C-alpha cells in the first residue's frame, strides 16, 4: 500500500487571509457547486432539492515545473466535506519552460503523486459538474469504474498523435494494488480512439478482477460525440462484487451534444445519450438494462449554467423509471 505524505496550509490559515493576499501566497482558489431538483414521473415521486456536487480546490506552484493541488468535496451520502484530491504534479518533458526539460516532440509529460481520479476511459475527464454537460453520468460508467478515486501515482505523456497514462493505486481490498492505464490515438484531427485497462493485484499476484474499455470521441465545430464500451470481471460500482469470480458484466453508451448558439443566437445546448448494461451472473444472462437521456442546457454566464435532463430507464425484470432533473451549476 502506498504511503504518501502531502503538506498543505491549514484551512484556518488560508481562510484567515485577506482575499488580496492570495496572490502573494501564490495560492489559486477556485470551486463550484450545483443544486438539483428531481421529480420521478413513473412511479410519481418528488425527490426534492439537494446538492449534486460542491467542491473547493487549491493549487500552488512550488517551482516552474512542480505544483501542488488539492480539493475538498462534499459527500452527499455522509453529508460531510471530504478530501477529494491531493497531489503533486511534476512536469518532466514538454515544449516550454514550465517543464524540467524542453522537448520538441513531446507535448507534455510528467508524474502525479497523491490522490486523483483514475484515468480510465473518457468519463474521468468530465466528473466535475461544470465540465459534465449532462446532469447524470453514463450508466455503464456508474456500474464499473464509478469515478474511482484513490492514492497512488500516475505517469503521463502526450505526443501530437498519441497519449498515454499509466497508474498504480491502492487496490480494491486492503493491501491490494490496482494497476492500469489508458492509451489514446488521434488518427485524424478531432478524432480520438482509446483503450483502457485496470487489473487488481492481490497478495498472490494477478486476480480475476479487471476492467477493459474502448472509447471514441469526436468534436467538429458545434458538435461533440462520445462513446465507450466497458467490460468488467468481478468489479461492480467501483468495488469488488459479491461472488466476484462469477460476476461478469458489460455495457456501452453513445452520447451526442450540440451547441446551438450559432444557429439561434442563444447560448443553448442540447444532447442525447443511449446506454445499455448487461449482466452475466453464474452464466445466467440478466438484462439488458437500457437508459435514454435527453438534455437541454442554457449558459446564463460563463460560470453559471442551467440544465434540464429527462431520463427513461428500462429494465427487463422491473418497471420503467422516468425522471426529470433540473440543475443549476455555479463556478467561482
Rg (CA), the chain: 21
Contact 328, 304 (CB under 8 A): yes
Q: Evaluate whether 108 touches 94 at the Cβ level (below 8 Å).
A: yes
Q: What is the DSSP letter of 51?
A: E
d(C-alpha 187, C-alpha 169), whole Å: 30
Cα separation, 79 vs 311, whole angstroms: 26
- Give the residue from 180, 179, 187 showing the smallest Cα distance to 162: 187
When comparing pLDDT for 102 and 316, which is higher? 102
**Alpha-carbon distance 266 to 316, whole Å?**
40
Return the exposure string of 102-125: e unless at least 16 CB atoms fall within 10 Å of the residue's CB, then b. eeeebebbbbbbbbbbbbbbbbbe
How far apart are the C-alpha atoms of 292 and 277, rounded to whole Å?
A: 12
Q: Which residue has the cell 439561434?
A: 264
Q: Write the burial class of residue 26 (CB in 10 Å: 0-12 exposed, 13-18 middle, 19+ buried).
A: exposed
Question: Distance (Å, rounded) from C-alpha 161 to C-alpha 185?
Answer: 6
309 grid coordinates: 435532463
pLDDT, one tens digit per residue, over 265-311 is: 899 999 999 999 998 765 555 668 999 999 999 999 999 999 999 99
The pLDDT-based confidence of 5 (bands split at 50, 70, 90) is very low
- One DSSP character per residue, 214-264 reads EEEEEEETTEEEEEEEEEEESEETTEEPTTGGGEEEEEEEEEEEEE-HHHH
- pTM, full prediction: 0.87
In the chain, % of residues over pLDDT 90: 67
For residue range 57-76, list pLDDT tens digits in order.
999 999 989 999 999 998 77
Q: Which CATH architecture group holds 29-331?
A: Beta Barrel (2.40)
The string of pLDDT tens digits covering residues 120-152 is 999 999 999 999 999 999 999 999 999 999 999
H-type helices in 52-208, by residue range?
A: 139-143
First to last CA, the chain: 36
Q: Binning pLDDT at 50, 70 and 90, where does residue 2 land?
A: very low
Q: Measured between alpha carbons, how far is 290 from 308 in angstroms, rounded to an integer?
A: 20
Asked if the model's pLDDT at residue 162 lies above 80, the reply is yes
Q: What is the pLDDT of residues 223-277, one digit of tens each?
A: 999 999 999 998 999 988 776 666 789 999 999 999 998 889 899 999 999 999 9
Q: Taking Cα atoms as reference points, which of 309, 303, 304, 198 lies closest to residue 257?
A: 309
CA 330, distance to chain mean position in Å, is 18
Q: Is the separation of the CB atoms in 268 and 260 below 8 Å?
A: yes
- Residue 205: pLDDT band (50, 70, 90) is low
d(CA 287, CA 250): 11
Domain edges within the chain:
29-331
Distance from C-alpha of 274 to C-alpha of 288, rounded to nearest angstrom: 13
Amino acid at each position: 500500500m502506498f504511503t504518501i505524505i502531502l503538506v498543505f496550509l491549514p484551512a484556518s490559515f488560508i481562510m484567515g487571509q485577506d482575499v488580496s493576499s492570495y496572490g502573494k501566497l501564490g495560492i489559486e482558489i477556485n470551486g463550484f457547486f450545483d443544486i438539483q431538483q428531481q421529480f420521478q414521473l413513473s412511479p410519481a415521486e418528488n425527490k426534492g432539492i439537494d446538492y449534486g456536487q460542491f467542491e473547493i480546490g487549491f493549487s500552488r506552484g512550488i517551482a516552474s515545473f512542480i505544483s501542488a493541488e488539492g480539493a475538498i468535496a462534499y459527500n452527499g451520502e455522509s453529508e460531510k466535506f471530504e478530501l477529494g484530491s491531493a497531489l503533486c504534479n511534476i512536469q518532466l518533458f514538454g515544449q516550454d519552460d514550465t517543464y524540467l526539460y524542453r522537448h520538441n516532440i513531446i507535448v507534455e509529460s510528467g508524474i502525479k503523486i497523491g490522490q486523483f481520479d483514475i484515468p480510465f476511459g473518457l468519463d474521468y475527464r468530465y466528473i466535475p459538474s461544470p465540465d459534465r454537460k449532462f446532469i447524470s453520468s453514463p450508466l455503464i460508467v456508474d456500474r464499473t469504474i464509478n469515478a474511482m478515486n484513490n492514492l497512488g501515482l500516475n505517469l503521463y505523456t502526450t505526443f501530437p498523435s498519441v497519449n498515454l497514462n499509466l497508474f498504480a493505486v491502492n487496490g480494491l481490498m486492503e493491501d491490494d494494488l490496482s494497476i492500469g492505464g489508458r492509451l489514446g490515438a488521434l488518427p485524424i484531427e478531432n478524432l480520438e480512439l482509446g483503450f483502457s485497462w485496470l487489473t487488481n493485484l492481490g497478495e498472490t499476484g494477478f486476480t480475476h478482477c479487471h476492467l477493459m474499455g474502448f472509447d471514441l470521441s469526436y468534436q467538429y465545430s458545434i458538435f461533440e460525440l462520445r462513446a465507450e464500451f466497458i467490460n468488467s470481471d468481478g468489479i461492480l460500482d467501483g468495488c469488488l462484487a459479491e461472488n466476484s469470480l462469477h460476476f461478469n458484466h458489460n455495457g456501452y453508451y453513445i452520447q451526442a451534444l450540440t451547441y446551438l448558439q450559432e444557429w439561434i443566437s442563444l447560448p443553448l445546448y442540447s444532447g442525447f445519450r443511449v446506454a445499455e448494461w448487461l449482466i452475466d451472473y453464474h452464466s445466467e444472462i440478466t438484462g439488458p438494462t437500457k437508459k435514454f437521456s435527453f438534455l437541454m442546457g442554457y449558459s446564463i454566464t460563463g460560470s453559471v449554467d442551467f440544465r434540464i435532463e429527462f431520463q427513461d430507464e428500462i429494465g427487463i425484470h422491473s418497471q420503467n423509471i422516468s425522471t426529470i432533473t433540473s440543475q443549476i451549476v455555479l463556478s467561482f
